[in-house]
């Protein structure tokens, strides 16, 4: 098949990581992958794996933006030129674009729902899910059926997959060397990799960190990511006098090289479709402390592979992090169990195969 991904950008993030894994798997199975996006810092990684990219200015959050409609003709020409068999949209904006391209070219379009949408009237009146929609977790599947009344026969549950071989656990010396290269002082290292957005709960984590350092004096927190909340978070760190305990780093394209430096991964989200970064942390053999929200409980087994806490509760979050951090033996066992869980349940090959099934059903409708 010739498959066209539509996405607003290819910068570091969950959707881009999803597409990278999916495109590698599809190409490995003999399919051709094309991508239309506004570009980003990970384009070269896609092209290095054999995908072809067409850069168009479609980066917008508005489904009414003229950027969508100005570029319809170019995308439709690209679909004909590359003999595309199926279009796969990733965001609300590209779902709208995919609908019109599919209507005008006759090529079926499917979409992936990566999280939770607000039940706006426009989404109810003009759903634009395509011939089929992929839900990345049971929570998202329920959201589509309950909140948007998407017909069950159109929704396919396809959990995100990972190539676990990319994630290698490091020795203590390798951890130490890696931390030194980042200028991090010694001490237990708590980490989070996520865009700096209010829904990710960074503010709650920093509040928790204030309590953590009172119990674990040399504890450190490394926040990896970029976003609109950065200035506010840095100000919060200063106000709580945590400058020697909380550090910031820009987004990374290859989290598998960064994650093994952590002792513990935290995801204090207030909302989360599944939690790809949680899966990546587990693949790296890390215990995870995370919010009991969205699809995260389907990844983290409380007390066995990590700890689940109430979203937005800094006290509970701090207690869970302290508990895991102070028991190195149990934390190591949690991390190993987490890695085994991902290997068993989140195969990249299975994700690719199930996605191909969605494509084939769309072509038959």
Tokens 């999280």 found at? 115
Q: What pLDDT is stored for residue 123 in this prediction?
A: 75
Tokens 């439709």 found at? 76
Q: Side-chain half-sphere of 39: how many Cα atoms within 13 Å? A: 3
Fold adopted by 2-161+347-364: Rossmann fold (3.40.50)
pLDDT means per 10 residues, the chain with 365 residues, are 97 91 96 97 95 96 89 97 98 95 97 87 80 93 92 94 81 81 87 93 98 96 93 97 94 79 95 89 95 93 97 98 95 95 92 97 92
Tokens 């084939």 found at? 360
Tell me the CA distances in angstroms from 190 to 124, 164, 187, one per residue in order: 41, 21, 9
In this chain, the answer to whether the domains covering 2-161+347-364 and 164-345 adopt an identical fold is yes
How far is Cα 214 from Cα 159, in angstroms, rounded to an integer? 39
Phi, psi of 32 (to 5 degrees): -105, 135
Neighbours of 322 (CB within 10 A): 18
Going from N- to C-terminal start, the domains of the chain cover 2-161+347-364, 164-345
Q: What pLDDT is stored for residue 20 in this prediction?
A: 95
One-character DSSP codes across 214-234: HHSTT-EEEEE--STTHHHHH
The domain covering 164-345 belongs, at the CATH homologous superfamily level, to Glycogen Phosphorylase B; (3.40.50.2000)
Q: What pLDDT is stored for residue 185 in this prediction?
A: 85
How far is Cα 31 from Cα 51, in angstroms, rounded to an integer? 10
Within 8 A by CB and 6+ apart from 262, the residues are 189, 190, 191, 222, 281, 284, 286
Q: What pLDDT is stored for residue 221 in this prediction?
A: 97
Q: What pLDDT is stored for residue 62 in this prediction?
A: 85
Q: What pLDDT is stored for residue 33 in this prediction?
A: 98
């Amino acid at each position: 098949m010739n498959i066209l991904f539509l996405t607003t950008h290819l910068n570091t993030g969950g959707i881009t990581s999803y597409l990278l894994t999916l495109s590698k798997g599809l190409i490995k199975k003999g399919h051709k992958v094309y991508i239309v996006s506004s570009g980003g810092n990970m384009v070269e990684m896609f092209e290095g794996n054999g995908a072809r990219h067409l850069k168009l200015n479609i980066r917008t959050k508005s489904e009414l933006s003229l950027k969508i409609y100005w570029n319809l003709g170019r995308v439709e020409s690209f679909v004909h030129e590359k003999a595309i068999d199926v279009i796969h949209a990733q965001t609300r904006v590209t779902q709208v674009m995919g609908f019109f391209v599919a209507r005008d070219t006759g090529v079926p379009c499917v979409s992936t729902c990566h999280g939770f949408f607000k039940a706006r009237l426009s989404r109810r009146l003009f759903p634009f899910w395509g011939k089929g929609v992929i839900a990345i977790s049971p929570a998202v599947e329920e959201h589509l059926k309950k909140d948007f009344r998407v017909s069950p026969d159109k929704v396919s549950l396809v959990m995100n997959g990972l190539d676990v071989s990319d994630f290698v656990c490091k020795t203590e010396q390798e951890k130490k060397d890696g931390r030194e290269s980042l200028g991090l002082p010694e001490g237990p290292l708590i980490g989070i990799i996520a865009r700096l957005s209010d829904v990710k709960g960074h503010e709650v984590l920093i509040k928790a960190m204030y309590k953590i350092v009172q119990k674990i004096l040399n504890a450190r927190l490394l926040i990896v990511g970029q976003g609109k909340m950065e200035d506010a978070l840095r100000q919060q760190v200063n106000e709580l006098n945590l400058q020697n305990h909380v550090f910031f780093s820009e987004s990374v394209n290859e989290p598998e090289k960064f994650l093994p430096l952590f002792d513990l991964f935290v995801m204090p989200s207030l909302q989360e479709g599944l939690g790809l970064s949680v899966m990546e942390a587990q693949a790296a053999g890390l215990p995870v402390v995370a919010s009991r929200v969205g699809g995260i409980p389907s990844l983290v087994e409380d007390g066995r592979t990590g700890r689940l806490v109430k979203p937005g509760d800094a006290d509970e979050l701090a207690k869970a992090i302290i508990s895991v951090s102070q028991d190195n033996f149990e934390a190591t066992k949690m991390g190993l169990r987490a890695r085994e869980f991902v290997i068993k349940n989140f195969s990249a090959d299975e994700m690719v195969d199930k996605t191909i099934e969605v494509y084939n059903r769309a072509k038959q409708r």
